[in-house]
Amino acid sequence: MTQTLSILGSTGSIGTQSLDVAEKLGMKIACLTAHSNDRLLEEQARKYKPHTVALVDEDAAKRLKIALQDTSIRVLSGMEGVCVCAADKDSDTVLTSVVGMAGLRPTLCAIEAKKKIALANKETLVAGGALVTKKAKEHGVEILPVDSEHSAIFQSLQGMHRKEELKSIFLTASGGPFFGKTREELADVTLAQALKHPNWSMGAKITVDSATMMNKGLELIEAVWLFGVRPSQIEVVVHRESVVHSAVEFVDNSVIAQLGVPDMRIPIQYALTWPARYPSPVQKLSLPDYGKLTFSKPDEDTFRCIALCRGAIERGGLYPCIANGANEEANALFRGGKIGFLDIADLVAGALESVPSKENYTIDDVFDADGAARAYVREHIS
């Protein structure tokens, strides 16, 4: 492929897999960014030869600048540096794999610069969905999903005649490491147990979100924005094998799904090559090896985050941003050993009750609501 790519969050789980995919596709790399991992970003810079790299953390950026002195690679710092990379004139596509709503500002910068967006960073769409989709429309920018479920929905919708033909979406969920457990059993689970995902190897934040099933709630909101459906049109279905990555139902009750082994390099590659398809190093799916595939309803009383997110997007305004901000804070506190597993959903619920929302929000409103939700969580940890 002759296209040029920039990656925001190149040192993470999705970022490193995206570099692998881009290399095999023969794509050129313009810019790479990360938060503070100067060592890995240096390695990537030497290997993939971007002309610019950026680190949010100023000290890490200083170290990287010294480390790359013998090259002509420009090193930038801070969120401004990341935004410069997002808008760089040489890239055709910007893949956003930052974790958290910190990806919102650079994503908006990339859209303003009319870059095609390959979006892994779901929190950006959850927190600022109206702003992101409006800006993308204004600038005629495509947002191509990287999240496996949304890629599956997008792939299943290829060739749809009219939007009105789509009736509903089956959003599949692995159920995570705690599938089948009761609330009592979840009270004392540890971080190590939460990090043992049955099918996917991912960054720590999303792995904990998968354990609480907040990830599925965030994905429900992500699907509302990406596909213009109502929350009531999305049904979450537990599918332990992670082979059916999601499905769409049309008005004639015909259902189309996308299947494949659980490997993020398939959706990453499709976002980069759409509408074309290229060969991939990913293992081939053998259905006889699986033998059977199972489907069931999620236990939304135990895994409250799904219903909390559904309620948040139904109420609209800044409620999804509040749910996301509270979860980002609570997820980090759980990973830091400061709160228990069940506290995460309780704190998200509390923030949704207490933090005020508004309709027709601006980017400042999004950051204010996010800050208020995080403050709520910090004030209410027992």
A 10 A CB-CB count for 362 gives 11
Site string for ligand NDP, 307-326 (x = CB under 6 A): --------------------
Amino acid (1-letter code) at residue 370: D
What is the nearest approach in angstroms of Mg ion to the Cβ of residue 200? Answer: 8
Identify whether the C-beta of residue 153 lies closer than 8 Å to the C-beta of residue 127: no
Q: Which of 38, 147, 241, 249 binds Mg ion (CB under 5 A)?
A: 147
Q: Which does 121 bind (CB under 5 to 8 A by kind): Mg ion, ligand NDP, none?
A: ligand NDP
User: What is the H or E stretch that residue 132 is in?
Assistant: helix 122-138
Task: Give whole-number Cα distances, 10 to 59, 204, 246, in Å.
Answer: 18, 15, 26
Q: Which does 176 bind (CB under 5 to 8 A by kind): ligand NDP, Mg ion, none?
A: none
CA neighbor of 313 nearest in space, from 127, 104, 99: 127
Please tell me what DSSP assigns to residue 282: S
The structure tokens 């060969």 sit at 279
Q: Which of 104, 120, 153, 355 binds ligand NDP (CB under 6 A)?
A: 120
Residues that contact ligand NDP, how many (by CB under 6 A): 29
What is the nearest approach in angstroms of ligand NDP to the Cβ of residue 55? Answer: 7
CA neighbor of 299 nearest in space, from 171, 208, 179, 169: 179
Residue 202 touches ligand NDP, criterion: CB under 6 A:
yes
Residue 9 touches ligand NDP, criterion: CB under 6 A:
yes
3-state class (DSSP) for residue 249: strand
Site string for ligand NDP, 234-273 (x = CB under 6 A): ------------------------------x---------
CA neighbor of 369 nearest in space, from 314, 311, 329: 329
Residues 340-359 that bind ligand NDP (CB under 6 A): none
The structure tokens 């398809």 sit at 277
Residues 35-74 that bind ligand NDP (CB under 6 A): 35-37, 56
Residue 4 touches ligand NDP, criterion: CB under 6 A:
no
Identify whether the C-beta of residue 85 lies closer than 8 Å to the C-beta of residue 76: yes
Site string for ligand NDP, 88-117 (x = CB under 6 A): ---------xxxx-x---------------
Q: Which does 35 bind (CB under 5 to 8 A by kind): ligand NDP, Mg ion, none?
A: ligand NDP
A 10 A CB-CB count for 336 gives 9
Residue 34 touches ligand NDP, criterion: CB under 6 A:
yes
Please tell me what DSSP assigns to residue 36: S
Contacts to Mg ion by CB under 5 A? 147-149
